[in-house]
Structure 1
Amino acid sequence: MSLNDDQKRELLKLARASIQAGLTTGHPLRVDLQQCDPALTAKRASFVTLERGGQLRGCIGMLEAVRPLVQDIAENAFAAAFRDPRFPPLSAAEYTDLDVHVSVLSPAESVRFVSEQDLIAQLQPGVDGLILQEGYRRGTFLPSVWEQLPDPRQFLRHLKQKAGLPADYWSETLKIFRYRTEMFS
C-alpha cells in the first residue's frame, strides 16, 4: 500500500505531536482512530528515526503489524524520543532542530538461500531491509542503513553483530527475512 503526500504529511505531523506530547505529559499522544483517514488505521509496521544535525538521535519501530499504523507511529515516535536505550530522553531544547523520518514497512518475506554467497548475491542494496534471526537472537537494518554500509557483505556482517553474533558467523539454521519501506520526512 502506497501512501499519498497528504497521508505522509499527516503521519509526520502525528509523529511530531506524539513527541511534543511526551515533552509535556510524559506519555505518547493518544490517537482517536475515528478521526483518522481509514487508510491510516490499517495494521502496519513502522519505524520512526530521529536525527539532529545529521546524527542519529533515536530509532524505534516494529517489525510486525500488530496495531493501526497511526497508533504504531505515535508510539514509536514517543519511544524513539524517550526510550531508545542508546540515548538519554529527548529534551525540549532538542525538539526544535529534530529531523523526523518515518518508515512504513511491507510485510517481511522469507529469503531462501543455500549459502552465505547465495544470500549476498540476492541482496538489493538501498532497497532491502533485512531481519536476521538465529534462535532467540534477532536484528534488523532498515534499507536506509545501506547509505552507511553499501557493500552487501559488510551489511550482512554488521547485521550479524547487531543480532549479537560474530561477524563471520554462519549456520544452516540462520533465517533471513526481507522487507521494503516507504520512507519520508
Structure 2
Amino acid sequence: ASILFYEEKKESLTKKEKELSNEEKDFLLSLARKTLDEYYKTGKKININKDPLTENLLNVQGCFVTLKKHGALRGCIGHILPQEELYKCIIDNAINAAINDRRFDPVKEEELKDIEIDISVLSVPEKLSFSSGDDLLDKLRPSVDGVVLKQGFYQSTYLPQVWEQFSSKEQFLSSLCGKGGLDSDCWKDTKTEVLTYQADVFEEH
C-alpha cells in the first residue's frame, strides 16, 4: 500500500473505535464506487449531504482504499493517521488509489467495470517498544497488526491483510524495510520506530 505521508474480511479494531455496522460498510463501498464514477465522468469530487451520516462515518479516522483488477492489485493509497472525517477519507483515497499510486499507471475509465474495491478503516497507530529483533517478532500478530516502520525520513507500512503474502514474520519485516528504502534488516535495529494498528477490512461482493 502507498501512504500519503508516502470477502467480508475483518481485523479487530481497538476498543477506542466503534465497529462499523454492515450498513455503514455498504455505504462506504458504494461511496467509493460512486466517487470513481463521478470523477471519471466530470473530473470532480463527488458532493454528498453529510447531514444524514452516522457518527461513525463522521469520525476522523485513517483509511486505505485498495483497487484490484481481476484479483490483482491496481492501486492502494490511504492515510495511516486520522486526518479527516471517514467519509471524506474514502472519497479522497478512492481517487488517489486510481490515479496517484506511482507503482501503477492511472486507472482508465474503461477499466472501472473490472475494478474491485476494498476498504480498510484503521485504528490509531500505537508505538510498539521492543528490546531486540527477536522481541519484536514475539510481539507482532500476523494478520491482526498493520505495521509502520520509521527511521529518520524513511517510513513504510503494510496493512494487516498483507501478512498473507509472506510465510514468516522475518520475510514480512524485511520486505517492509525494503519498501521504505531501508536495509532489509532495519527491523532488528532498536532505533527503528515501530508502530502497529488494526483494521476493519471489507470489500465489494
> Is residue 2:205 matched to residue 1:182?
no
Unmatched runs of 5 consecutive residues or more in structure 2? 1-17
Q: Contact 2:59–2:86 at 8 Å: present in 1 too? A: yes
> Is residue 2:179 matched to residue 1:156?
no
> Is residue 2:159 matched to residue 1:142?
yes
Deviation at 1:4, TM superposition (A): 0.6
Q: Which amino acid aligns with 1:177?
A: L
For the aligned residue pairs, the C-alpha RMSD in angstroms reads 1.1
Unmatched runs of 5 consecutive residues or more in structure 1? none
What CA deviation, in whole Å up to 9, does each residue of 1:125-174 have, x standing for no partner? 11110000001100000011011014111100001011110112343321
SS in 1 for 2:67: strand
SS in 1 for 2:51: helix
What CA deviation, in whole Å up to 9, does each residue of 1:79-129 have, x standing for no partner? 101111111221121100111000000111111100011101111111110
Q: Contact 1:18–1:28 at 8 Å: present in 2 too? A: yes
Q: Distance in 1 between matches of 2:82 and 2:22?
A: 22
Q: Which has the higher contact order (CA 8 A, sep 6+)?
A: 2
Partner of 1:117: 134
Partner of 1:30: 47
Partner of 2:62: 45
Query: Bigger CA drift: 26-35 or 63-72?
Result: 26-35
Partner of 1:171: 189
> Is residue 2:31 matched to residue 1:14?
yes
Residues matched between the structures, number: 185
Q: Distance in 2 between matches of 1:94 and 1:121?
A: 42
Q: Contact 2:132–2:189 at 8 Å: present in 1 too? A: no
Q: Distance in 1 between matches of 2:78 and 2:201?
A: 13
Q: Contact 1:31–1:70 at 8 Å: present in 2 too? A: no
> Is residue 2:92 matched to residue 1:79?
no
Displacement over 4 Å in runs of 4+: none
Percent identity between matched residues is 36
> Is residue 2:83 matched to residue 1:66?
yes
Distance 1:28 1:150, change over 3 A: farther
Q: Which amino acid aligns with 2:192?
A: L
SS in 2 for 1:96: helix
Q: Distance in 1 between matches of 2:190 and 2:130?
A: 10
Q: Contact 1:43–1:67 at 8 Å: present in 2 too? A: yes
Q: Distance in 2 between matches of 1:28 and 1:153?
A: 41
Q: What's the TM-score, normalizing by structure 1? A: 0.96
Q: Contact 2:130–2:190 at 8 Å: present in 1 too? A: no
Deviation at 1:29, TM superposition (A): 2.0
Q: Which amino acid aligns with 1:54?
A: G
Q: Contact 2:133–2:189 at 8 Å: present in 1 too? A: no
